[in-house]
Structure formats: C-alpha cells, structure tokens
Amino acid sequence: LKPFGFKLRCAALRNGSALTPSSSRPLPEELMARQQQGRAEQARRGGRRLLRGLVLPAAALAAMAVVRRLVRPGMAEEVEPQVSFLGSKRREMADVARKSFPGAMTGSTVMARMLEKVEPYGVKWDNTVYGQSLCSDEINSDRGHLSVLLTKYFGHSFHLGGIGGAPYVGKTGFGAFSHHVPDDGHVVVVFGPHIGISPTGELGKFLRVGQSALSTSCGAVIAAYSQCTSGANLPADPQDMMQSWLRGQLKPHCREIERSVNPMKDLVMKAYREIEAEVMRIVNTDYGSGHLVLLGGIQINMPHSMRGFFAPMHFSIRSAGKEPVDLMSAFD
C-alpha cells in the first residue's frame, strides 16, 4: 500500500486535487518558486558580503596611498589627506571660473583645440620647440594645467618667465630659445599670469596642499598691487628685478583697480595686457622658415583636486614675411 499511496499522492498533486491532509502542502511549482527565491536571497547576501570584502579594503588602500603621497620620507606622523571636491561643488567652482573669465575651459580642452587648429600648418610634437612665460609658482605645475600637458606633449619646455608670468628672459632669451628649433620646424609659446580660486570661490586666494590657511595667487601680482596702493615710495631694486618690473607696469592701473567691483579679476586682466605687450616686443621669426604660434591667456588654479583651467585671450600664428593669422575662432 505504501508505494500505491505514494503514487496516489503524487497524482493528486499533479492534478491539483486535495485527497489527504498532505494536499495542504505547497505544490511543486510553489516549492520551486520558494527555492528560487531562497537561492536569490542567498546570492544577494553573498554578493553584499563580497562587495564589502572588496570595496572596503580597496577604499582603505586608496586612502592610505593618498596619505603616503602627502607624507615625506622620514616623517613620523601622517597628515590628513585633503578632501576632494565632488559633483555639485566641482560644477560650482567651474562656474566661478567661467563667469569670472568667459571662455575659460580645462587645460586639456584648450590643448586639443589648439593642436587641431595648428595641425594644417604642419605643427607637430616632433618638429616643434615649446616655451612658456608663466609664473614660477609651483601650483602652475599641478596636473591638468595647459602648460603641464603641453610640456608632456612636446617632451620639453623652455622657461621664458618668472614671478608674475612676464617674459623676463627678454630678446636675448627668446633668441636663444627660438634657435633651438628643429630644422624647418616651429615655435610654440604659451604666456600669461595666473590666478587662484579658493575652495569657497574667492578669486586671488588658493589653499595649498599641507597648509591650513589660504595664500594669495598670484602672490607677486597681488603684492605689486598692494605696494602701489600703499603710498610708499618703492624705487626699482636690482636685487628684486622681477617684482620691480611688475610694480612699474601695474602702477598706472592701480587706482582704477581700487575702484573696481571685482579688483582681483581686473588686476589679473591688467597684468595679462602688460605681459602680452612685452611678449610681442621680444618675439621674432628670424629663426627660420617655420611658424611661431602664440597662445596667451589667464591660467586658473582651481581648488584641489580639480584640474587646471585656462582662459584664452590671444591665439595667433605667424612666419617670416607673412602677416599674423588670428586663430581665436578655435575657442568659439
């Protein structure tokens, strides 16, 4: 009877009928569904455990790597890694840069548009010598800045500038640099002052890695402005030639800047105009048949860990015996 009863119950279950109290048990389809749900829940739990096991150690290792980069060899204590900007805060700071300096964009975007525009003229990485007249401030070497990207692209750079970004090497320095050009090759020069943006969006201020207080950026340009408006008589100093030059060039503009609604923005714009004029006074195309590409603008030091921005103000190409060609349409 036992085998017969077993077969009878199976038939009843297949037919969906209720013969005995055993018919109150779940049908095979329900059992399978419950088993599948159970296996799915176990898989989800296992996946969460696996994810925690992978993500948390990875995050810890990443944090440790950041700390190690910030700690010099031999330091006994670790420093707290600086908090990176995320999402909306990055967009907010980018908006500050673009509203203050219309046309400002990331260094990588400027480089891509510049290289695309000069490609028809035969300007390539292997037939070009690259130079830059930018401030000596180390934050201009932060990753993502146009000057850093172009140095990597061309493989080298000749430093024409000093504090403030003016081309202090003069005609002799440019002549030496331009005669390093490959045969029938080209010369590319990027120039201009720089300005920092604080984590709260304040122009002319910058929070440097390892410091708890803001500092000025560009410190030399802002110092020249402060010296000019202090009322003190500061003659040219042969032991401070770069600052003396900046102070002398900015002095005629300082009273106007004092009345400005946004003095830091107007100050760096005045500095740019003086630097551009000086660049035009020292450059030439006497080095050969190749082109001279000039790209001037404001280098913008964004809060860490954002990539640097650049606001193009001048972009042209020229060669011996030919009129300069304006290429600013590359940034429209």
pLDDT at residue 21 greater than cutoff 90? no
Query: Does the global pTM surpass 0.85?
Result: no
* Strand 309-318 versus strand 105-106 pairing type: antiparallel
State how far the alpha carbon of 58 is from the alpha carbons of 20, 47, 53, 64, in Å.
58, 16, 9, 10
Nearest-5° angle of CA 218, CA 283, CA 107?
Answer: 45
Q: Alpha-carbon distance 112 to 126, whole Å?
A: 17
- Cα 124 off chain centre by: 23
**pLDDT by residue (tens digit) across 105-121?**
999 999 999 999 999 99
Check pLDDT > 70 for residue 233: yes
- Delimit the domains of the chain by residue range: 86-330
131-186 pLDDT, tens digit per residue, is 999 999 999 999 899 999 999 999 999 999 999 999 999 999 999 999 999 999 99
Distance of alpha carbon 154 from its chain centroid, rounded? 18
CA nearest to 100, candidates 315, 246, 258, 302: 302
Pairwise CA distance, residues 299 & 196, whole Å: 9
| Residue 105: predicted pLDDT | 97
Cα–Cα distance, 230 to 232 (Å, whole number)? 5
Q: How many CB atoms lie within 10 A of CB 301?
A: 25
Asked if pLDDT for residue 316 goes beyond 80, the answer is: yes
Please provide the average confidence, as pLDDT, over all residues in the chain. 83
Looking at domain 86-330, its CATH class is alpha beta
Residue 5 has pLDDT above 90, yes or no: no
- Residue 215 and residue 206 in contact, taking contact as beta carbons nearer than 8 Å: yes
What's the pLDDT tens digit per position in 241-266? 999 999 999 999 999 999 999 999 99
| Class of residue 132 by CB neighbours under 10 A (exposed 0-12, middle 13-18, buried 19+) | buried
Buried b / exposed e over 99-126, threshold 16 CB at 10 Å, is ebbeebbbbeebbebbbebbeeeebeee
Of 151 and 231, the one with more pLDDT: 151
For residue 305, cis peptide bond before it (omega within 30 degrees of 0): yes
What pLDDT, on the 0 to 100 scale, is given for residue 96?
A: 96
